[in-house]
């Protein structure tokens, strides 16, 4: 990274740290971990996901299925195409709504393949909506995605602006990055974990602190949660999920949604080897354990609780399918496409590149088992 960019990011780090300190002081020495995540990851100018940086890929902090190559988006395009024929053939207009588009690579990969698969009328009746709430990122996505080749890609700020939609929702590694609460089982009751300050003569540090639960939604969660857990057991609670799922339900008349993420069942999350929860950070492809050091410079994530997702989606009115391991889902979705590639006149090197990407996506030691697919239908 150029020296000027490093200096700029260093200044942003300092400003963000001071902002967090001010909020803690105004909050009587405590802010929730959820609020810390909001500031650290999503502050409009200073957050990890909103600042200028290379987060994804070999040169970034972590690898995603999208960054491996076009294979992933191509397979999803064939998946959407099959559902268009089976479930949406009578609809005059079909939409694909993507959350967490990052640089827009997945949108381009999917639409490029759909342009080849669908007939002209079907493709012209298709709209691809990218939901990006941040102004700075929305402008860059528009510059990249909205062009003559794809005049049916639209970048919007909020799904709630839409209604009576028919089509698809796509969220690739969106759920794990939603700000979440952290709680700990202490003396036979749940307490909330947050962020406080430790002051000395020469330094000021962010530290983990425990506090009584004040949030009504978290109190309701605690009433339903297990009380048969070991002392000090810690876990994560996503309270943003209800509103997110409900917004999808209210915006669509008919929808098939696909969410891809790493996660666990409730039983897996409360296993003896999970006493500290699943929260972690990533920077430069390395595991970060001190999540309060250098806010804004690293990712923060946790395993999705698939049981919670299922319950919330069903309460909203959705039918839920899965989770299905990524290797099973992609192998089934790609079956006919891979046969066509093998029969095609494509150059051998190009075929090998596609097959190598596919192997990475489905291999059990890379992404095949750790990532899972959840489908919702209305």
SS (H, E, C) 158-220: CHHHCCCEEEEEEEECCHHHCCCEEEEEECCEEEEEEEEEEECCCCEEEEEEEECCCCHHHHH
Q: Give mean pLDDT, residues 236-240.
A: 95
Whether residue 258 contacts residue 375, with contact meaning beta carbons closer than 8 Å, is answered with yes
In this model, does residue 2 exceed pLDDT 50?
A: no
Tokens of 281: 């950070």
pLDDT at residue 346 above 90? no
Judge whether residue 6 has pLDDT over 60: no
Angstrom CA distances, 232 to 94, 143, 206, 270, stand at 49, 49, 21, 12
How far is CA 113 from each of CA 119, 124, 189, 199, 288, rounded to the nearest angstrom?
12, 14, 52, 56, 37
Give the C-alpha separation, 138 to 140, whole Å.
6
Q: What pLDDT band is residue 7 in, cutting at 50, 70 and 90?
A: very low
Q: At what angle do helices 326-343 and 71-87 cross, to 10 degrees?
A: 90
Measured CA to CA, the distance from residue 246 to residue 256 in angstroms comes to 14
Helix (H, G, I), strand (E, B) or coil at 62: strand
* CA neighbours closer than 13 Å in the CB half-sphere of residue 291: 21
Q: Are 118 and 126 in contact (CB under 8 A)?
A: yes
Structural domains present in the chain = 1-378 (3.40.50.12710)
* Count of beta carbons in the 10 Å neighbourhood of residue 46: 22
Question: Confidence class of residue 261 from pLDDT cuts 50, 70 and 90?
Answer: very high
DSSP lists the bridge partners of residue 31 as 195
Burial of 79 by CB count in 10 Å (0-12 exposed, 13-18 middle, 19+ buried)?
buried
Neighbours of 251 (CB within 10 A): 20
Cα distance between residue 183 and residue 213, in whole Å = 9
Question: What pLDDT score was predicted for residue 17?
Answer: 93
Overall average pLDDT of the 209-224 stretch: 93
Distance CA(287)–CA(300), nearest Å, equals: 10
* pLDDT tens, residue by residue, 161-187: 899 999 999 999 999 999 999 999 999
Contact 161, 133 (CB under 8 A): no
Which residue shows structure tokens 């510059």?
143
Task: Let me know: does 55 contact 62? Beta carbons within 8 Å.
Answer: yes
pTM: 0.90
Retrieve residue 306's tokens.
């698939």
The tokens describing 263, both together, are 């996660």
The whole-number pLDDT of residue 348 equals 84
102: Cβ contacts below 8 Å, ≥ 6 apart: 55, 56, 66
Closest CA to 169 of 73, 254, 68: 254
Residues 104 and 141 sit within 8 Å (Cβ to Cβ): yes
- Sort strands 126-131 and 153-156 into parallel, antiparallel or unpaired: parallel
What's the pLDDT at 4? 36
Q: Give counts: helices (H), strands (E), the chain.
A: 13, 16
Q: What does the pLDDT look like over 295-312, one tens digit per residue?
A: 988 999 999 999 999 999
- Indicate if the pLDDT at residue 341 is higher than 90: no
């Amino acid at each position: 990274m150029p020296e000027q960019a490093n200096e700029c990011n260093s200044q942003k780090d300092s400003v963000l740290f001071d902002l967090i300190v001010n909020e803690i002081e105004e909050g009587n020495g405590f802010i929730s971990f959820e609020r810390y995540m909001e500031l650290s990851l999503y502050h409009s100018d200073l957050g990890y996901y909103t600042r200028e940086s290379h987060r994804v890929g070999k040169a970034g902090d972590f690898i995603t299925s999208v960054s491996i190559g076009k294979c992933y988006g191509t397979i999803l395009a064939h998946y959407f195409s099959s559902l268009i024929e089976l479930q949406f053939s009578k609809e005059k207009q079909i939409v694909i709504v993507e959350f967490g588009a990052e640089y827009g690579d997945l949108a381009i990969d999917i639409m490029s393949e759909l342009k080849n698969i669908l007939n002209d009328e079907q493709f012209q009746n298709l709209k691809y909506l990218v939901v990006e709430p941040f102004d700075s990122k929305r402008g860059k996505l528009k510059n990249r995605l909205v062009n003559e080749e794809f005049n049916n890609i639209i970048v919007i700020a909020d799904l709630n602006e839409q209604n009576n939609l028919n089509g698809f929702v796509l969220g690739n590694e969106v759920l794990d990055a939603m700000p979440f609460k952290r709680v700990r089982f202490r003396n036979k009751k749940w307490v909330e974990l947050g962020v406080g300050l430790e002051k000395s003569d020469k330094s000021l540090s962010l530290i983990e602190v425990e506090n009584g639960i004040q949030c009504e939604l978290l109190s309701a969660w605690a009433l339903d949660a297990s009380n048969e857990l070991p002392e000090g057991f810690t876990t994560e609670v996503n309270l943003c999920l209800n509103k997110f799922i409900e917004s999808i339900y209210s915006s669509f008349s008919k929808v098939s949604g696909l969410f891809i993420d790493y996660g666990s069942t409730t039983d897996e999350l409360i296993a003896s080897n999970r006493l500290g929860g699943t929260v972690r950070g990533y920077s430069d492809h390395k595991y970060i354990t001190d999540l309060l050091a250098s806010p804004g410079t690293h990712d923060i994530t946790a395993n999705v609780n698939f049981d919670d997702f299922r319950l919330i989606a069903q309460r909203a009115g959705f039918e839920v399918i899965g989770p299905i391991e990524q290797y099973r889902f992609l192998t089934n979705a790609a079956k006919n496409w891979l046969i066509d590639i093998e029969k095609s006149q494509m150059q051998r090197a190009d075929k090998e590149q596609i097959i190598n990407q596919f192997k990475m996506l489905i291999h059990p030691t890379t992404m095949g088992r750790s990532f899972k697919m959840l489908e919702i239908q209305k």
